[in-house]
Amino acid sequence: MARHSIPDIIEQQARPAVLGRPLVLNLVRSLRPQQWTKNLIVFAALLFSGRLIVLDSVIRSIEAFAIFCVLSGVVYLLNDLADREADRQHPLKRSRPIASGQVPVAAALSTAAVLGAGSLLWAFWLGTPFGIIAAAYLALQVMYSGPLKHIVIIDVLTIAVGFALRAAAGAAVIAVAFSEWLLIMTILGALFLALSKRRHELVLLADTAKGHRRILEEYSPYLLDQMISVVTASTLVAYAIYTVSPDTIAKFQTNKLGLTLPFLLYGIFRYLYLVHLKEGGGSPSELLLNDRPLLICIALWAATVVIIIYGAPLLPKSSS
């Protein structure tokens, strides 16, 4: 009996899901809706501004989320176009519609142009500040798909700034100030995910990693582990400081937000466990949706934050 390599098995399993699918469905697949959970960071400003119960703010935040889902889909299209030759050498990415030839280059380009222009018009209709941030996000991601992803350290920092722009856009669309600490934590959290993804690529592709993505020549698992350790500690410290800072306590009239720190600890440790022992981390969104303990942790964290901010009793006032 002939033996098949793991990449061959993966390709054989993926091929039936692609062949015969209409062009429209393949285009939708290229927009990667399973990755849109990353855009949930847009709702951070709504949650931490105390406006979660304001209907107009909720509607505008949902619109902002939809716009960034479309914009990120455009970026995925452009990225798959730029990487289609390299993706064909990847054991998992070779089944993507553009790399496999199911979506013609012209169709992908025209779809990206229409969706990009339409979403930016929608963004500026919601407000000039929000539109500017959305345009900056798209420009940054296009630059990432070009030269920036080939520059060591700058590649992962660009991903982190992209998350920060999403968070800032969520604040701009409802016209509220966004805490500098929350922006810092957004950047650190995104760095954690980006570095973990780089590590996963190195481990998955092994000796062929450098041939698939040039930037991987600049990294090693040991270096990435050191960087992940620094980012992990910084994220935890930043979140702890934010939850107990006098400004936060004064804003929410409660000192209970620090009680949510154990959820962050478990979530980070669980993710590290999946990356190091289960060889996960290649797709943070899929890992989030498929790992039940991690999903429950995030849901409990969000519920606890909502209860504390919107339902906790006020702190006792001083008798001065």
**Would the pLDDT of 12 be above 60?**
no
Both 68 and 130 in one domain: the answer is yes
Q: Are residues 259 and 129 in the same domain?
A: no
pTM here is 0.82
Identify the CATH number of the domain in which residue 85 sits.
Answer: 1.10.357.140
Domain tally, the chain: 2
Rounded Cα distance between 15 and 93, Å, is 12
pLDDT in tens, 37-53: 889 999 999 999 889 99
Annotate 43-94 with three-state secondary structure.
HHHHHHCCCCCCHHHHHHHHHHHHHHHHHHHHHHHHHHHHCHHHHCCCCCHH
Residues 67 and 127 in one domain: yes
Residue 209: per-residue pLDDT: 52
The answer on pLDDT for 319 being more than 50 is no
Q: Is 104 a residue whose pLDDT tops 90?
A: no
**320 lies in some domain:** no
Q: Answer yes or no: do 123 and 152 share one domain.
A: yes
Q: pLDDT of 39-89, one tens digit each?
A: 999 999 999 988 999 999 999 999 999 999 999 999 988 888 877 777 677
- In the predicted model, what is the mean pLDDT of residues 211-232? 86
Q: Specify if 5 maps to a domain.
A: no
Of 135, 160, 178, the one marking the end of a domain is: 178
pLDDT of 318 higher than 60? no
Q: Which domain holds residue 123?
A: 21-178
- Per the CB < 8 A criterion, the answer to whether 97 and 22 are in contact is no
Domain ends where: 178, 197, 216? 178
Q: Which residue has the higher pLDDT, 14 or 302?
A: 302
Q: Please tell me whether residues 262 and 251 are part of one structural domain.
A: yes
Least confident of 30-44, 59-73, 205-219, 226-240: 205-219
53 versus 317: the higher-pLDDT residue is 53
Q: Do 163 and 30 sit in the same domain of this protein?
A: yes
According to the model, what pLDDT value does residue 165 have?
95
Higher pLDDT, 310 or 123: 123
Residue where a domain terminates, one of 159, 178, 197 = 178
Q: Tell me the CA distances in angstroms from 37 to 40, 49, 164, one per residue in order.
A: 5, 21, 15
Q: pLDDT tens digits for 145-171?
A: 888 888 999 999 999 999 999 999 999
